Amino acid sequence: MPDTNQPRRATRAQVRKFLAAAGYEGTPPDDLVTEYVDLVGAAGRPGLPRHRLAVHLTAQSPGWAAPALAAFEAGWHEQQQARAQASSAARDAAARDADRAAAYVAGVWERTGTGPTWTELGDELGWPPALRARIVRLLAKEGVLTYGTAPRSLALAERSGES
């Protein structure tokens, strides 16, 4: 039975575009293109996180040696674990700090007539900078806060103000 986890084969044109995205200047030689076929196939479509990781690893590789598929997959696994941990930490912070966030936002509106910035809210509640946007979006999704495109538009959601 064939291994269904094998990456698709990339075309030579796809490999050339990939190498250009990684910073290779000029036309890559055929042996270099051949060396990258499997990695580019495993990386998937341009713009996706797996593809961006493969481009990054390639740009970091000495002498344009293709990173090993095992190293690429290990790097991808680490990124997925980091994303899952960040997501979990953000959910925990949103659940833990919803009332404090609402109180702080209400207090800033009362004192200044505008909402706090996301940075000010995050600083006040001790949220890691990398998680602040995710936490604010979760609080908005849960109906605690709202925000718009205007600066300092962070506010209590209607439901929160009625509690």
The two tokens of residue 65 are 């040696």
Which has more pLDDT, 158 or 4?
158
Architecture of domain 88-156: Orthogonal Bundle (1.10)
- Please say whether the beta carbons of 39 and 72 come within 8 A: yes
The two tokens of residue 82 are 């980091």
- Cα–Cα dist 56/50, whole Å: 10
State pLDDT tens for residues 87-115: 999 999 999 999 999 999 999 999 999 99
Residue in 144, 141, 142 with CA at minimum distance from that of residue 160: 144
Burial class (CB in 10 A: 0-12, 13-18, 19+), 115: buried
pLDDT of residue 7: 58
Q: Tell me if residue 10 falls in helix, strand or coil.
A: coil
The two tokens of residue 129 are 């900078």
pLDDT band at 5; cut points 50, 70, 90: low
